[in-house]
């Protein structure tokens, strides 16, 4: 029996010829990512070394990445203190892959990692963030862990006692219709699987709709696999992966690409014809409460958000700018746009998108996690309703448990900003 993509990666990461779902392994880690919660990782890391008589040095500073994104610039002295603690640690340990609050190299961790070429196909990536699943878009096995787990990785260079996950194969047939996007595909899939349908499993994407999808789109679908509970999403790397790594991420040497075996064993195979998809909306207060847009048209909106690690990339901003060009954000509706990285922000400036957004009445915010997690920007009032291209709509997510969040694609968000209600971006009859 052959191996799935993740089984193959884990076999290589443990120096074995073959592994199978259920095996317990300790894979070496190629990249270990944290953000502001690195402050807690440092605390736990120091605790591991306490009373050992050993010097608390990370196993390999070149394999650690720390990106400030959750609360940038700091919203409180407490956060500023955490960030300072991390800066000191980074300097002391010699961690070079550090992205501070800067306009030339900052952004959301799940955009910075691919953009700077930190993620290699076939590698093992862990991050103290649940959306670390994103990097499966480049063919890595990439999954979220907690801060204490990360402290052990910093100390030991491997993840302890990992059970090889089973894999759900998702085959995506057909071609996306106009104004139907990878976001609609992943919302549809999460709705189908439910919030726990892929718990402890990997979702491996295949099919012509994936083959023709850009890395940006693949990042969207892998990002949100965690909303079905998945350990990770993964796309077998191909010519598009090579193009992205060389042309966009500036990677000089890409390792030899490999895919799953043709006779790999999957727990489940799901086929989706994307030609038949309509724009999808995740309704409050769970991501799996997904409905086709026609069932929620006309819901009144107080705030529209475009951005985040899910949909804050240049192609997302391009579609929004196309729809908003020469139009105005509806009175009584606030529109917030936050590009996923400062590189994307600069590109959007040069292409005129930022001007289009501002002329329409949108507020363009700095790159970071912003309103998505409701920490310090764009919080909602009691009774407010938001529509966002972000990834979660849990009660309280956007800073207020007495508000509601709907999730959608950038095209739906932009079209709805003009009307102030949930609006289908397609023309009648499309």
Q: Does 133 bind other proteins (CB under 8 A)?
A: no
User: Which residue in this structure is represented by tokens 């010097």?
Assistant: 55
Q: Which range in 94-102, 191-199, 296-304, 347-355 contacts other proteins by CB under 8 A?
A: 191-199
Q: Which of 166, 229, 259, 260 binds other proteins (CB under 8 A)?
A: 229
Q: Which of 11, 32, 65, 82 binds other proteins (CB under 8 A)?
A: 82
Which of the residues 309 through 368 are near other proteins (CB under 8 A)? Answer: none
Closest CA to 9 of 213, 184, 255: 255
Q: Which range in 141-149, 299-307, 329-337, 353-361 contacts other proteins by CB under 8 A?
A: 141-149
User: Which residue in this structure is represented by tokens 């693949």?
Assistant: 218
Site size with other proteins, rule: CB under 8 A: 60
CB 27 within 8 Å of CB 156: no
Counting beta carbons within 10 angstroms of the beta carbon of residue 113, is it exposed (0 to 12), middle (13 to 18) or buried (19 or more)?
Answer: buried
User: C-alpha angle with apex 369: 280 to 77, nearest 5 degrees?
Assistant: 150
SS3 call for 208: helix
Q: Which of 20, 59, 299, 315 binds other proteins (CB under 8 A)?
A: 59
- CB of 354: closest distance to other proteins in angstroms? 27
- CB of 257: closest distance to other proteins in angstroms? 28
Q: Which range in 87-95, 306-314, 351-359, 374-382 contacts other proteins by CB under 8 A?
A: 374-382
CA–CA separation, 89 and 129 (whole Å) = 20
- CB of 118: closest distance to other proteins in angstroms? 19
Q: Which range in 166-174, 193-201, 239-247, 314-322 contacts other proteins by CB under 8 A?
A: 193-201
The answer to whether the bond into 73 is cis (omega within 30° of 0) is yes
Half-sphere exposure (Cβ direction) of 1: Cα atoms closer than 13 Å: 9
- CB of 379: closest distance to other proteins in angstroms? 8
Q: Does 373 bind other proteins (CB under 8 A)?
A: yes
Q: Does 392 bind other proteins (CB under 8 A)?
A: yes
Q: Which of 7, 36, 204, 424 binds other proteins (CB under 8 A)?
A: 36
Residue 56 or residue 257: which is nearer to other proteins going by CB? 56
- Interface mask (CB under 8 A) for other proteins, residues 103-122, using x and -? --------------------
Q: Does 167 bind other proteins (CB under 8 A)?
A: no
CA–CA separation, 415 and 333 (whole Å) = 12
Q: Does 147 bind other proteins (CB under 8 A)?
A: yes
Half-sphere exposure (Cβ direction) of 249: Cα atoms closer than 13 Å: 25
Distance from first CA to last CA of the chain, Å, rounded? 45
User: Which residue in this structure is represented by tokens 């990249």?
Assistant: 31
CA–CA separation, 337 and 358 (whole Å) = 10
Q: Which of 139, 374, 378, 425 binds other proteins (CB under 8 A)?
A: 374
Helix (H), strand (E) at residue 20? none
- CB of 148: closest distance to other proteins in angstroms? 4
Q: Which of 43, 212, 271, 273 binds other proteins (CB under 8 A)?
A: 43
Q: Which of 163, 208, 276, 349 binds other proteins (CB under 8 A)?
A: 163
Handedness of CA 219, 225, 231, 237 (dihedral sign): negative
Closest CA to 136 of 117, 123, 149: 123
Q: Which range in 37-45, 317-325, 329-337, 343-351 contacts other proteins by CB under 8 A?
A: 37-45
Q: Which of 16, 62, 76, 295 binds other proteins (CB under 8 A)?
A: 76
Tally of CB atoms within 10 A around 266:
17
Half-sphere exposure (Cβ direction) of 143: Cα atoms closer than 13 Å: 24
Residue 157 or residue 174: which is nearer to other proteins going by CB? 157
Beta strands in 80-190 (DSSP E): 97-99, 124-127, 141-144, 162-163, 166-173
Residue 7 or residue 129: which is nearer to other proteins going by CB? 129
Phi/psi at 287 (nearest 5 deg)?
-70, -25
Positions that interact with other proteins (CB under 8 A): 24, 36-37, 39-40, 43-44, 47-50, 52, 54, 59, 70-71, 75-76, 78-79, 82, 127-130, 132, 144-149, 151-152, 155-157, 160-163, 195-196, 199-200, 229, 231, 286, 288, 373-375, 379, 392, 394-397, 399, 401
């Amino acid at each position: 029996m052959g191996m799935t993509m993740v089984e193959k990666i884990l076999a290589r990461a443990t120096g074995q010829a073959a592994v199978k779902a259920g095996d317990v392994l300790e894979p070496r880690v190629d990249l270990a990512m944290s953000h502001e919660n690195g402050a807690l990782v440092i605390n736990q890391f120091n605790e591991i070394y306490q009373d050992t008589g050993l010097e608390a040095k990370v196993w390999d500073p070149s394999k650690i990445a720390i990106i400030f994104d959750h609360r940038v610039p700091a919203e409180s002295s407490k956060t500023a203190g955490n960030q300072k603690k991390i800066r000191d640690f980074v300097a002391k340990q010699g961690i070079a892959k550090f992205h501070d609050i800067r306009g030339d190299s900052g952004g959301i961790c799940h955009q910075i990692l691919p953009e700077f070429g930190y993620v290699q196909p076939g590698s093992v990536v862990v991050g103290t963030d649940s959306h670390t699943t994103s990097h499966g878009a480049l063919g890595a096995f990439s999954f979220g862990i907690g801060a204490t787990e990360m402290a052990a990785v910093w100390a030991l260079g491997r993840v302890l006692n990992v059970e090889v996950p089973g894999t759900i194969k998702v085959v995506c047939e057909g071609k996306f219709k106009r104004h139907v996007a990878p976001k609609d595909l992943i919302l549809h899939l999460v709705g189908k699987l439910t919030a726990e349908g892929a718990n402890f499993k990997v979702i491996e994407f295949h099919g012509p709709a994936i083959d023709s999808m850009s890395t940006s789109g693949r990042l969207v679908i892998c990002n949100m696999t965690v909303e079905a509970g998945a350990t990770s999403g993964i796309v077998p790397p191909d010519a598009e992966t090579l193009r992205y790594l060389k042309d966009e991420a500036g990677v000089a040497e890409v390792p030899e690409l490999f895919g799953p075996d043709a006779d790999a064993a999957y727990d489940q195979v799901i086929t989706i014809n994307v030609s038949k998809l309509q724009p999808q909306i995740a309704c409050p207060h769970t991501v799996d409460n997904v409905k086709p847009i026609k069932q929620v048209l006309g819901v009144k909106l107080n705030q529209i958000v475009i951005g985040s690690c899910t949909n804050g990339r240049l192609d997302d901003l391009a579609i929004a700018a196309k729809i908003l060009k020469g139009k105005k954000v509806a009175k009584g509706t606030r529109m917030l746009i936050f590009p996923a990285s400062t590189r994307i922000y600069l590109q959007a400036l040069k292409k005129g998108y930022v001007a289009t957004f501002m002329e329409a009445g949108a507020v363009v915010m700095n790159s970071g996690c912003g309103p998505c997690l409701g920490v310090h920007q764009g919080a909602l009032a009691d009774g407010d309703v938001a529509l966002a291209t972000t990834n979660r709509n849990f009660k309280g997510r956007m800073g207020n448990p007495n508000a509601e969040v709907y999730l959608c694609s950038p095209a739906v968000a932009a079209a709805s900003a003009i009307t102030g209600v949930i609006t289908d971006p397609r023309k009648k009859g499309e």
